Amino acid sequence: MSQTLTKNQEKALKRFADSMDGRVRAHLNSCVHCGLCAESCHYYLATGDERYMPANKVDQLARIFKRYHTVAGRLIPKWIGAHDLNDESIQEMVDIIFGGCTMCGRCSMHCSIGVDIPFLVRTARSMLVELGLVSPGLQSTVDAAIQKGNNMGIPREELVDTLQWLDEDLKMEVNDKNASIPLDAKGKRILYTLNPREPKFFPLSISAMAKIYYAAKESYTISTTCYDVTNYAYYSGDDEAAAELTERLFKEVEKLKAEILVLAECGHGSRAIRWEGPHWIKKRYPYQVITVIELIADYIKTGRIKLDPAKNQAPITLHDPCNLVRSGGVLEEQRFVLKRACTNFIEMTPNRLDNYCCGGGGGQLSMGEYRDRRVAAGKIKADQIRETGAKIVATPCHNCIDQIMELNKEYELGIEIKTVAEIVADALVLDT
Partner 1 sequence: MDFHAWFLICGFAVFLLSSLFHLFTIIRRANTDDLTAAKGSIPVGIAYSMTLAMSPLKKETAYLHLPTYTAGILYHLGSFLALAWLIPLFFEIPIPSLIHIISSGWLFISGVCGVGILIKRFFNSKLRMLSTPDDYFSNFLVTGFLIISAVTLLNQEFLPILFIYSGILFLYMPVGKLRHIIYFFIARFYLGLFYGKRGVWPPPKRQRS
Beta carbon nearer to partner 1, 34 or 314:
34
- 313 forms part of the interface with partner 1 (CB under 8 A): no
- Minimum distance, C-beta of residue 404 to partner 1, in the bound complex (Å): 23
Strand ordering across the sheet containing 316-318: 345-346, 316-318, 392-394, 416-418
- 260 forms part of the interface with partner 1 (CB under 8 A): no
> Which of 55, 85, 142, 256 touches partner 1 by CB under 8 A?
55
With CB under 8 A as the rule, give the number of residues binding partner 1: 63
Give the end-to-end CA distance of the chain in Å, rounded to a whole number: 77
- 40 forms part of the interface with partner 1 (CB under 8 A): yes
- 126 forms part of the interface with partner 1 (CB under 8 A): no
Beta carbon nearer to partner 1, 110 or 200:
110
Q: Kindly give, in sequence order, each residue whose CB lies less than 8 Å from that of residue 125, ignoring residues fewer than 6 positions away.
A: 97, 98, 134, 235, 236, 237
> Which of 85, 111, 375, 382 touches partner 1 by CB under 8 A?
111
> Which of 160, 329, 343, 346 touches partner 1 by CB under 8 A?
329
- Minimum distance, C-beta of residue 168 to partner 1, in the bound complex (Å): 37
- 254 forms part of the interface with partner 1 (CB under 8 A): no
- 21 forms part of the interface with partner 1 (CB under 8 A): yes
Beta carbon nearer to partner 1, 156 or 283:
283
- 246 forms part of the interface with partner 1 (CB under 8 A): no
Contact 251, 257 (CB under 8 A): no
Q: Which stretch binds partner 1 (CB under 8 A): 160-168, 249-257, 273-281, 368-376?
A: 273-281
Beta carbon nearer to partner 1, 37 or 163:
37
User: Which residues bind to partner 1, rule: CB under 8 A?
Assistant: 20-23, 25-27, 29-40, 50, 53, 55-56, 59, 72, 78-81, 108-116, 119, 274-275, 278-279, 282-285, 288-289, 325-329, 331-332, 335-336, 339, 345, 352-354
